[in-house]
Structure 1
Amino acid sequence: MSDGFSGFPPELLQFLSDLARNNDRDWFDANRDRYEEHLVGPAMAYITAMQKPLARLAPALTARPTRVGGSLMRIHRDVRFSKDKSPYKTNVGIQFRHLDGKDVHAPGFYLHIEPDQAFFGVGIWHPDGETLRAIRTAIAERPADWKKAKTAKAFRSRYQLAGDSLKRAPKDFDPDHPQIEDLKRKDFIAIQELDPATLTAPGFVAESTDALKSARPFMRFLCEATGVAY
């Protein structure tokens, strides 16, 4: 393919399924070649192939095909505060995060891959208090702009708003505001579910590019609300 990426290999989903049944270091070390060939290599190729679409459609988002600190999220789980001590994640996470962001809580475009589930995600997941208040304030003060962003035809045809919400109106916001259900949100993300078979298709970069393009009104509102470029 001209973009250098012809889809994720079917063996990736098999590797993740096997890892879920054998989530220990001995098994992983014995299957490290599969990890490199079927997960890391294709993920790096996908990230590289997405650099041009991102530069054209969302230049503030970065595609970094590096093993440390890049767009491919680490496979090792942080088990310090978890009862589940399984050492490895059993999914692939790829995040094209904002230039101004340092972690997964930055504005971004996300690809999630599991054997029985895949999706694109856009927006800001678990924003800190200052960022969350800035988004809520923008919605409260510019409700028409927010409604236009979340109901844009291309966006609505692909994405569903998702994430956690408060049960009551947040402090200092009118509980009778016409956008109160969105003001209650603690996450400002939207999800497009994918058929895992789509991942192996030669046109997956084009599918990703279309999804990225469709998210522009939503992402632009969030970035403007938080004072960063998009």
Structure 2
Amino acid sequence: MEFSGFSKKTLPFLEAIRKNNNKEWFEAHRNEYEEYILNPSRAFVQEMGEHLMALEPTIDFEPKINKSLFRIYRDTRRMGANKAPLKSRIGIIFTQGSGSRLQRSSFYLHFSCDELFVSAGVRWFEKPMLDAYREYIKDERRRVELDNLLDALEAKGYKTIDKGYKKYPRGFSADMPSAHLSLYKGMAVYKILEPSLIEEGEKLIDTLYKIYEDMLPLQKTVYEISLRAKED
């Protein structure tokens, strides 16, 4: 299936999910979900993934649920999780490396009727990645290089995720160059676009490609960190 953009009915359908967030409504509208979201998402993953291979030949993508695509049903069993059964935003991920999907360095996006969110890196480190990240930035040269990279990306209009900690972890202090990097719980940059862009197939692919090309140095850095992570 060739990707020509999402339907103009896709975003209104996501708004309808938000207003009718129950399994009974969704099952009655499953055909619309497949037509407006699932099928074009699969086509998008295939085309965008092939483009991304020009940036990073080892990028992983597979147009299947629990691979590059996320389930529409939310896991409500986790403590503190949003208890609404359905997601009203659609996530898509292109990963590099092995291990847990969300702990691999990745090119990621999600869209809803509110925004098109585009990012690269890992937004939340679990302990093996957090340990590897902190070990990586203990080296002053690497730490300053990463800080300079983030500054360069921010100068291009990208944003770095918020810091997660207020106190410096062991081995870091305020008098160290770029020590603030040790306060992050993840490492990723992002940009927010108008969600209607998903309706313009070629423009969407071209726009994302240019963004991910800008973000590639950070994606590579986080991938290098992931290779140092040791599973518990």
What TM-score comes out, normalization by structure 1 length?
0.89
Q: 5+ unaligned residues in a row in structure 2: which ranges?
A: none
1:167 is paired with a residue whose SS is coil
Query: Alpha carbons of 1:133 and 1:85: their partners in 2 closer, same or farther (altered >3 Å)?
Result: closer
Count of residue pairs the alignment pairs up: 224
The answer as to whether partners of 1:79 and 1:85 remain within 8 angstroms in 2 is yes
Q: Encode CA deviations 1:94-146: one digit per residue, 9 max, x unaligned.
A: 01122313222221111111101221011112212232122223223123321
The CA distance in 2 between the partners of 1:84 and 1:181, in whole Å, is 31
The CA distance in 1 between the partners of 2:164 and 2:117, in whole Å, is 21
Match in the other structure for 1:73: 70
The answer to whether structure 1 residue 47 and structure 2 residue 53 are counterparts is no
Q: Identity of paired residues, percent? A: 27
Letter in 1 for 2:59: L
The answer as to whether partners of 2:96 and 2:223 remain within 8 angstroms in 1 is no
What TM-score comes out, normalization by structure 2 length?
0.88
Match in the other structure for 1:157: 156
Q: 5+ unaligned residues in a row in structure 1: which ranges?
A: none
1:201 Cα offset (Å): 1.6
Letter in 2 for 1:188: M
The CA distance in 2 between the partners of 1:225 and 1:135, in whole Å, is 6
Q: Encode CA deviations 1:34-59: one digit per residue, 9 max, x unaligned.
A: 10000001100100101222211122
Counterparts of 1:39-118 in structure 2, within 5 Å, are 39-67=37-65, 69-80=66-77, 81-82=79-80, 84-118=82-116
The answer to whether structure 1 residue 140 and structure 2 residue 138 are counterparts is yes
Match in the other structure for 2:177: 178
The CA distance in 2 between the partners of 1:83 and 1:4, in whole Å, is 36
The answer as to whether partners of 2:143 and 2:181 remain within 8 angstroms in 1 is no
The answer as to whether partners of 2:132 and 2:226 remain within 8 angstroms in 1 is yes
The answer as to whether partners of 2:147 and 2:181 remain within 8 angstroms in 1 is no
1:121 is paired with a residue whose SS is strand
